[in-house]
Structure 1
């Protein structure tokens, strides 16, 4: 039997992404965001939703660009820090020991130490209420060679962090459960 718990942000899991931007002074900044995901295959697009008071909100509105940086589980404390501290008051790249790399494709920095990076150009902005959703066309995906297997990004080598909003905990990935569009064929 299921128990109703009401309307909540319970799509599990959510990402724990580091969103890279340049602020009004051109300083690289990071913000941890869990409200985001893939929204289109062609053109390839992802969304990230931020509240207007966030330092990164103004940066994205001004520059029309952001990066999505997928950190490994070993950097979970750094990811959490980037969600606690405002870029108005701190240099998050320096505090985390991260290296800011200027994207050649969009007006935003990315994190050299993150094994997976998406460089995004904003193509749509939707005010949804408490959050504004930024739809970013993915101009390029960069993957560390060490996180590749058979020429493709390997989720277990990337070791991404996921977030559960209701209990406010970070989690890692579990085991490989099987090949998509394949294991279900046994039910035919």
Structure 2
């Protein structure tokens, strides 16, 4: 096996592609597509998004101190890409992509109704790192689409056809390979069938 040595770069892939909605009161809400997002803390629940300072949404989030992370399924991938390459300075992204602003529970900016999961956040901290600022948000509320609830009352996120972003391309998630802890779980023992003696 041989490997090439490259200069430092962002090669941590794949990543979730999410649509982040934000907005100032009295103004048209905006959407920015972010691939650099992740969980950072369980208690309190926190996540991070990384946004360039020059992006239109950066100042909105910094000024209002809130945003909503909207997960992206296969049916939203075109809208996610469009919202990532167009600026809210020039377009009403909700209108252009025929998306529905969803009233949030704990923040003033809307979520995206068509998204399977909306994660409402308040800004906890902004870290200035260089090309991007990492915005850490505390999760205030999560709303989920009821159509993804299974017959046992559990949320089946796998049915939402979520997408991943890898080095400039979008991908569907593949088949499930296991679940957390499966590598160390004890395999169930098979019941031995006793032969009947005549």
After TM superposition, the score normalised by the length of structure 2 is: 0.88
Contact 2:66 2:121 in 1 (8 A): yes
Contact 1:98 1:113 in 2 (8 A): yes
Q: 1:44 corresponds to which residue? A: 45
> Which has the larger Rg?
2
Residue 75 of structure 1: SS of its match in structure 2? helix
Kindly indicate whether residue 162 of structure 2 is the aligned counterpart of residue 160 of structure 1.
Answer: yes
Q: Deviations over 1:162-184 (max 9, x none)?
A: 1012xx11001100111211333
Residue 152 of structure 1: SS of its match in structure 2? coil
**Higher mean displacement: 114-123 or 177-186:** 177-186
Superposition map of 1:107-146 within 5 A: 107-146=108-147
Judging by fraction of residues, say which structure has more helix: 1
Superposition map of 1:29-178 within 5 A: 29-149=30-150, 150-165=152-167, 168-178=168-178
Q: How large is the RMSD of aligned CA atoms in angstroms?
A: 1.7
After TM superposition, the score normalised by the length of structure 1 is: 0.92
Q: 1:28 corresponds to which residue? A: 29
Q: 1:182 corresponds to which residue? A: 182
1:35: Cα distance to partner?
0.9
Q: 2:17 corresponds to which residue? A: 16
Contact 1:21 1:109 in 2 (8 A): yes
Residue 18 of structure 1: SS of its match in structure 2? strand
Judging by fraction of residues, say which structure has more strand: 1
Contact 1:23 1:55 in 2 (8 A): no
1:103: Cα distance to partner?
1.3
Aligned mates of 1:52, 1:179 — CA distance in 2: 38
Aligned mates of 1:24, 1:49 — CA distance in 2: 23
**Higher mean displacement: 74-83 or 146-155:** 146-155
Residue 5 of structure 1: SS of its match in structure 2? coil
Aligned mates of 1:23, 1:169 — CA distance in 2: 31
Structure 1 unmatched ranges of 5 or more: none
Structure 2 unmatched ranges of 5 or more: 188-198
Aligned length: 185
1:186: Cα distance to partner?
5.8
